[in-house]
Amino acid sequence: MKTYIFRLFAMVALFCMSACKKDFLGQTDPNAVRVVDYYKTENDILLAVNGTYQALRSSNTMGENSGLFTDERSDDTGRNDNQSNAGEPFQFNDFSLLPSNSYLKAHWLALFQAISRCNLVIGSMDKASFSNPANKIQYTAEAKFIRAIMYFELVRKWGAVPLVTQPLPTLDDVTANTFRVGEAEVYKQIVADLKDALGSNLPNFQPTGTLGRASKAAINAYLGKVYLTMASTLADGKTENLNNANTYLMAAYNMRTFGNLSEIPYADVFDVKKKTSCKELIFQIANKQGDLNYSSSIAANNQAKGENINSLKVSTGIGGNVKLDLINDYEAADPRKDFSVKFANDPTVKDWFITKFRDNSPEAGVNGYGGNDWILMRYADVILMLAEVNNLQGNDPVAIQYLDMVRARAGMPLYAVARADAGYNSKYPTLKLAILHERRVELAFEHHRWFDLLRAFNTTELVAYFKAKPQASYGNAKLANFSTKDRYYPIPFDEVKLDPVKMYQNPGY
């Protein structure tokens, strides 16, 4: 009886199938286009490349409001209010970060989504028709540049990460690529992408109309920073990596269109009215003053209650909180301090806040739609990296020359004079620490400090460095929590669950 019923159902099914045309069964949604099949024209590719730059703007990748993942991990800034104490953002600076932290997961996903955009552009390049072959070369270079700096963010924060360089159109493709790859291999891909981009037809600098796009000066500077980071991170190849760092940093430096750094006043670097003409800027995220969608909010966000130095927008909070540890690190009469920070006297604040990024113009208005571009690379950074690499190579006289370029522009005593001061020499007894200090005060709040610390110290030294700080100058976050586990972020819990073996957790979490 059971066999009969089975045969009956089989015959009915066969009849139904034979009554249906194959084209009916195989129909697809006419309104749906697979992503991998979308890019057909040169303009399609251009729009996709623009999308990779759009990904840079996000507060979950590298945008101006992404300091939670960089500066707030360091000894420069951090949440110091009661609401944050109970929330997930506070975990970053308190060194109590959990793998389940939703901000951490959002950061991880956004970086990989940006990489996915780049992979789609690169993987679709040969499917599109180009009336101008030069544009194909340019767009490929731009996508590889963005992919490289996104992976640079990932590898420095998490160490070994999945390495994906092609589109993954199916779930099976995603599953097959869900595994962590060692740091050396990730850096190898970063270097390959940057070198490919450097060999393209990109200009040394972008003209005013296309500021914010990749250039050879930016690529050289990033290659220098990548090699410098590799020298302090990877077990092998330190000498070669330092040599390469020096080579590419010098290439970027020699592309500059000014003579001495002192020709460019420090305040001009952050002046909204001079952002298109300032010769110190190498790579930036361009913002549009007064625009609801593409303006900058950093000036208004940093402003503390009762203040109006940053923005015409009225603040009701504490703004961009600054740790006393940084305030105490400024030398006496350093003008960069007065430009970058201010003490808010409002009774509900009574603390230091960030003033480095300002736009209190009528054009920005009471909504705080500022015109600040977000600077990702500038020449003071390159110059201080040249000081750093020469110090590591044993070329201290050359390192001091570069250090003095930045100090001279700031109006500070040159290194030979400064180290004759007992206070300075006590705080920075070595040239390495003097350079680290200079980077801190010169590049404060530009999201470099945490990475500078990772380059300067191995994990054991980093723990000792933090625990030697007075808790009173660090705020509510507990320095006692810092341990060797905090060299890297934890892999987000949901990612580990995908494959606990191939997506293994970082030690200590």
Instruction: Choose among 111, 118, 121: nearest CA to 38.
Output: 121
Q: Which pLDDT belongs to residue 143? A: 98
Q: What tokens were used for 403? A: 């250090």
The confidence score (pLDDT) of residue 16 equals: 37
- The domains of the chain are located at 38-202+484-504, 287-372
Q: Which of 506, 380, 353 is nearest to 438 (CA)?
A: 380
Does the structural domain 38-202+484-504 have CATH classification 1.25.40.390? yes
Structure tokens at 308: 């109006």
In whole angstroms, what is the distance from residue 349 CA to residue 80 CA? 11
Q: How far apart are CA 163 and CA 116, in angstroms?
A: 11
Output the pLDDT for position 35. 61
Q: By C-alpha distance, which of 283, 275, 182 is closest to 225?
A: 283
Please give the Cα distance from 314 to 311 (Å, whole number): 8
Please tell me what DSSP assigns to residue 479. G
Beta strands in 303-431 (DSSP E): 341-344, 351-354, 374-378
What single-letter DSSP state applies at residue 348? T
Burial class (CB in 10 A: 0-12, 13-18, 19+), 16: exposed
Query: How far is Cα 75 from Cα 475, in angstroms, rounded to an integer?
Result: 10
Per-residue pLDDT of the chain (509 residues; tens, 9 = 90+): 333 333 333 333 333 333 343 333 344 454 544 665 678 899 999 999 999 999 999 999 999 999 999 999 999 999 986 566 678 999 999 999 999 999 999 999 999 999 999 999 999 999 999 999 999 999 999 999 999 999 999 999 999 999 999 999 999 999 999 999 999 999 999 999 999 999 999 999 999 999 999 999 999 999 999 999 999 999 999 999 999 999 999 999 999 999 999 999 999 999 999 999 999 999 999 999 999 999 999 999 999 999 999 999 999 999 999 999 999 999 999 999 999 999 999 999 999 999 999 999 999 999 999 999 999 999 999 999 999 999 999 999 999 999 999 999 999 999 999 999 999 999 999 999 999 999 999 999 999 999 999 999 999 999 999 999 999 999 999 999 999 999 999 999 999 999 999 999 999 99
DSSP string covering 199-246: TSS--SS--GGGTTS--HHHHHHHHHHHHHHHHHHSSS-HHHHHHHHH
Per-residue pLDDT at 24: 33
Q: What is the pTM of this model?
A: 0.92
Three-state DSSP at 141 gives helix
**For the chain, how many residues are written?**
509
CB atoms near residue 317 (< 10 Å)? 15
**Residue 502 burial (C-beta neighbours within 10 Å; 0-12, 13-18, 19+):** middle
Q: Is 283 helix (H, G, I), strand (E, B) or coil?
A: strand
How far apart are alpha carbons 461 and 258 in whole angstroms?
A: 38
